[in-house]
Amino acid sequence: MLDTIKALAKKTDSKILMVVLDGVGGLPLELGGDTELATAVTPNLDALAKNAQLGQVELVGAGITPGSGPGHLSLFGYDPLKFVVGRGALSAVGIGVKLGAGDVAVRGNFATLGAGRVVEDRRAGRPSDEKNAEIVGQLRAAIPEIGGVKVEIYTESEHRFVVVFRNPGAGLGANISDVDPQATGVQPLTAQAHDDASRQTADLVNTFVTRAEEALKDEPQVNGVLFRGYSDVPHFPSMDDIYGLKAACIASYPMYKGLASLVGMDVLDVEGHEDALDGKVAALQANWDKYDFFYFHVKKTDSTGEDGDFHEKVHKIEIFDALLPQLLALKPDVIAIVGDHSTPSKLASHSWHPVPLLIHSEYARKDVAARYTEEEAQKGTLGLRRGTDVMPLLMANALKLQKYGA
């Protein structure tokens, strides 16, 4: 559809605000109970829902659990089955690392390993950024290179870090299996190459894991590394080219800023920590007149779900609800509230469940939904949509699409 949308797109003065509540979709703790969204006290979201259209979104396809990268690409209108990018490149670009041809970027988690190298905590207790930087310093000193291949190690955030393998003149492949088992109580996996071009990279990854565990053996909590999301340099058409939009990203986590950069958004400076959304609101207010599309990312609705903390996820939803009036005060012509995937606290992981979608504009038809929840979204007139439908719907509600055909 991108070619069709490109042909129909037109520039107007209307403004679109897409709010992505990361991992917002959930499940009840007990069958028949309420999800985190339904449990939360959200008077502002409820009021908005009563004057909006609601529906559900499958980011990739029925039964498929999306990662954050595919989920966001889908929301931005890029078919995630066609536009594939590993988390490593997203994180690297997000923290300002320049990737060259033949480089491979890898997203890592610091982890806690117990006896027998069994994974006890895939996120090492979510260490502070300062502790992360300290550990990265230790690894830089211990692993500057492997077999003549340069190894660059960067702090991302909390338990996340990025490794870039550079082998100028002899490019590396990125088609490798994960080291992260995405489960506790088991050992880390061994990276396996899926093609000949990636064999050297798999060896580099496995050697890095061994040397990192040796370097961190005296650390009480951050004593292991888990890898997933290998990628080389991706190239995507820009949102300006496709939609004719001057687009801005308001996010704190590097991966999301990297993804926005790859699709041509300007990444705005945000002051303060992710937990404090005031900095994001301030960035939105300060730049409101400069752009016609804003992507506003809220992370902690996902982090708390991944931690299996139902009540804290409810709390993070309520925090967002409290600041929603500040976003609405800017009077966006179109506002969407959506998630990039579901992260039910019950599962403590991403899931395949559709996410609720809310679209508010002057041209939205009257709906029957009374709240922004999964159950109410099932009643909505937007129905069950693919993630790639969201941007065309927002463009249409902003009167930014011409008629198709005679």
SS3 state of residue 119:
strand
For residue 33, give the DSSP letter: S
For 9-52, how does the pLDDT look when each residue is reduced to its tens digit (9 = 90+)? Answer: 999 999 999 999 999 999 999 999 999 999 999 999 999 999 99
Integer Cα distance of 376 and 55 in angstroms: 8
Domain layout of the chain by residue ranges = 2-84+235-397, 90-231
H or E, element range at 108 = strand 104-113
The pLDDT score that the predictor gives to residue 170 is 77
Under 8 Å CB-to-CB from 241, ≥6 apart: which residues? 6, 264
pLDDT > 90: what percent of the chain? 83
- Residue 54 has phi, psi (to 5 degrees) of -125, 160
- Is the model's pLDDT at 274 over the cut of 70? no
Superfamily of domain 2-84+235-397: Alkaline Phosphatase, subunit A (3.40.720.10)
pTM above 0.85, yes or no: no
Asked if the domains at 2-84+235-397 and 90-231 fall in one CATH topology, the answer is no
Mean of the per-residue pLDDT values for the chain?
A: 94
> Which pLDDT tens digit goes with each residue over 306-329?
999 999 999 999 999 999 999 999
DSSP string, 239-278: HHHHH---EEEE-SSHHHHHHHHHTT-EE----S-TT-TH
| 361: β partners | 334
Evaluate whether 110 touches 224 at the Cβ level (below 8 Å).
Answer: yes
| Cα dihedral: 213, 214, 219, 224 (round 10) | 0
Q: Find out if CATH 3.30.70 is the number for domain 90-231.
A: yes
